[in-house]
Amino acid sequence: MLLTIGRQRIIADNMNKMKYIILNVITILVFNNLQAQTDKSKSTKDSLYVQEIEDHHEPDKVLHAEPLYIDLIRDLGARKGEKEWNVGFGLTDNTNYDEYIALVEYEWAPVNRLGLEVELPFSIYYPTSGIGTAPSSKLNSLKMAAQYSFYVSEKNKTSMAFGYIQEFELTEFNRYRKDKLFTGNIYNPFFIAAKRWGNNFHTLLYTGPAFIHHFSDKSLHTSWQINSNFHYMIPGTRNFIGIEFNKGIEGGDFDMTIRPQMRVAIADNLLIGIVTGVPISRENERFSSFLRLIYEPKHK
């Protein structure tokens, strides 16, 4: 009983800290927005910022707001030499257990318009009651991905890309010496279409099937993900507020999680993104939170 109360207090403290961070980031965003609105040259600043991304280098590239939870492999229209490190942390409140997630990923563009990525996603589970059970903690997979932007139009402010994610699923930490290290594969081709409306409003669609292959019984399951996004970029900055609609269909079952989010630049090459997850149906998963740190090393 004492252990359960202690865990509940820890979870409550974590959620309170997250709320404190979110409130501070909202304050920063509001301040930046008000400051930009009082600037008589706001529209000029917007145009100059867009030109800095699109027109100062070759080939063409359209500035798009990238979602924070289901992020892209690399910017649409990636240019050779671009690279980025991401570190993410999250907490999901499930019915019988809590899931703490962490990820480390590196993405880069070896040639124009082609993005590559390597990611290590972790899941740590804790039961929420003395009688509850939780999955075993593990490094979920070794994830490798590629994305190619086949259409980039500055005139239409539109970009499209297709890509592929390969995940080599791994067994739980406590079974490394008992079972085979790799338990299955996930094959995930996807398609992306994005459009900017004016200088500040952004929409994006990310969709594709995931084929899940389990080695133990040689079964193959298929699920579909349809992720739509809407963002507003604060004038003259890299900061934005927006929302993701993460939808999944598997075996006739439809699930959707709504993820309000914001991104703030805290340095020229360092950004922080904060995401809150609200499922439309609380079958198993309840509220969640996610924090992403984005570091972009300088490139020529």
For the four alpha carbons of 132, 2, 90 and 180, in that order, the dihedral sign comes to negative
Which residue type is seen at 53?
Answer: I
Distance of alpha carbon 178 from alpha carbon 168, whole angstroms? 18
Cβ pair 76, 161 in contact under 8 A: yes
Q: Per residue in 148-165, pLDDT tens?
A: 999 999 999 999 999 999
Looking at the domain assignment, is residue 149 inside a domain? yes
Looking at the domain assignment, is residue 13 inside a domain? yes
The pLDDT value recorded for residue 79 is: 94
The pLDDT value recorded for residue 175 is: 86
Looking at the domain assignment, is residue 102 inside a domain? no
Give the pLDDT mean for 275-286.
81
Q: Is the pLDDT of residue 205 over 70?
A: yes
Whole-prediction pTM value?
Answer: 0.82
Distance of alpha carbon 69 from alpha carbon 75, whole angstroms? 15
Distance of alpha carbon 263 from alpha carbon 239, whole angstroms? 5
Number of folded domains that form the chain: 1
Distance of alpha carbon 243 from alpha carbon 260, whole angstroms? 4
What would the DSSP string read from start to end of 101-149? EEEEEEEEEEETTEEEEEEEEEEEEEESSTT---PPPEE-EEEEEEEEE
Domain residues for the domain of 6 are 2-80+111-116+138-277
Mean pLDDT check: name the lowest of 19-33, 65-79, 231-245, 286-300: 19-33
DSSP letter assigned to residue 180: -
Mean pLDDT check: name the lowest of 47-56, 70-79, 188-197, 245-254: 47-56
Looking at the domain assignment, is residue 89 inside a domain? no
Q: Mention every residue, 6+ apart, whose C-beta is less than 8 A from residue 194.
A: 62, 64, 76, 158, 159, 160, 202, 203, 204, 205
Looking at the domain assignment, is residue 33 inside a domain? yes
Mean pLDDT check: name the lowest of 6-10, 156-160, 231-235, 256-260: 6-10
Give the pLDDT mean for 202-218.
95
Looking at the domain assignment, is residue 130 inside a domain? no
Give the pLDDT mean for 184-189.
97
Looking at the domain assignment, is residue 169 inside a domain? yes
250's torsion region: left (phi>0), alpha (psi -120 to 50) or beta? beta
Q: Is the pLDDT of residue 91 over 60?
A: yes
Looking at the domain assignment, is residue 190 inside a domain? yes
